[in-house]
Amino acid sequence: MVNMIPMFKLTSLHSLLPTLAFVFTAGLWGQVGEAALNPTDALLQKAIENSLSTRGHEALPNARAVRDIEPRSRLAHWLEAQNVLAASGLATQVKKGDLDLVHESEARLHRVPEGYLPANIIALAENLNIGRYLLLSDLSISRIYIFDLAQKKPSLVREIYSSIGLAGAVKQREGDRKTPIGVYRLMKEIRNPRPDGFLGDLAITLDYPNAEDRRAQRTGSGIWIHGVPQEVHVRPPRSSDGCLAVANADMEMIRSYVEFGKTHIVIAPSIQWLSPSDWRLHQQERLSRMGMTQQSVQLTNQAVFFVSNSRPIVAIQRDPQGLRRTYWAQRQASGPMLVEDL
């Protein structure tokens, strides 16, 4: 006997994804330029949104368009089937094996309010030379964002769906199948990282564990951003051994933004998005706790990042001796609690 989620009478995916329907109808997400998404992800997002709205009749052609350009997308085929049933007025059953598709749909619904900035990026010096781009991962919604750091304020240029560890976030020990949180450098690329192709054609290594991880006795290694098997489009939101797994095409795109040994990724359990005015207030408040100002950040050539309330503030600084990461207590601090030369 196949285990089923209770049967729903569908007129749209509102009854299939009640939480998502609430988020959609309440207008709890904003809008972001679709240029940040690749064409497949943009169409998938439209298909899900239309399934949850009064534009349900548009969801089916959206799903079919994704199926045509990316036939390996399980989500596209599933959305097509659900909308065919809904259009026919038929009852449907969702198998437990489909729950990962429900979770992927939920992850793909989140959008960045246009013009908003992440609280995780506190301050940026203009001449830091840590690469033009920064990666920022929100583990709560399976997302990697790529920001252009060429200006004083970060500018979002790409948004990528990513899988995380099977056991979730906040890695503590080797083999726990969790994704670490922290600030890490992207170190090198590995082509054909596994002979059977399970990790795709390309992987990029991170310098996990960093000095703060080692101080806290977090163990493990081999945390990468990598691709997926050729026969699939993406993997479910929680499915890796602790790495970040993305579509193979997205993996190649990420590579184009990376300067190895310079480019960093901030992996956070979640991201708070702020309006530009609130972001500036947040910046001033965080820097004040560290005894800094925006002017001193520029003079000392630093970038400052927030990971979570349970982790230190991380500053990256370049001086004549080289690049270093410093770790600052969340409370009022007169200096860093830990210095790591890179």
Split at pLDDT 50, 70, 90, the class of 111 is confident
pLDDT for residue 48 is more than 80: yes
Among 34-48, 59-73, 165-179, 189-203, whose mean pLDDT is lowest?
34-48
pLDDT tops 50 at residue 29:
no
Q: What is the Cα–Cα distance from 7 to 87, expressed in whole angstroms?
A: 16
68 band by pLDDT with thresholds 50, 70 and 90: very high
Stretch 250-276: mean pLDDT? 96
Domain 117-341 CATH assignment equals 3.10.450.50 = no
| Average pLDDT for the chain | 87
Residue 3's pLDDT is 35
Better-predicted residue by pLDDT, 17 or 184 = 184
> What are the residue ranges spanned by the domains of the chain?
8-109, 117-341
Instruction: Name the pairing type of β-strands 224-226 and 202-206.
Output: antiparallel
Q: Determine the pLDDT at residue 150.
A: 86
> How far is Cα 311 from Cα 213, in angstroms, rounded to an integer?
10
Return the DSSP state at 152: S
Flag whether the pTM goes above 0.75: yes
Q: Which residues have a Cβ under 8 Å from the Cβ of 202 and sit 6 or more positions away?
A: 189, 190, 191, 193, 226, 227, 248, 251, 252, 255
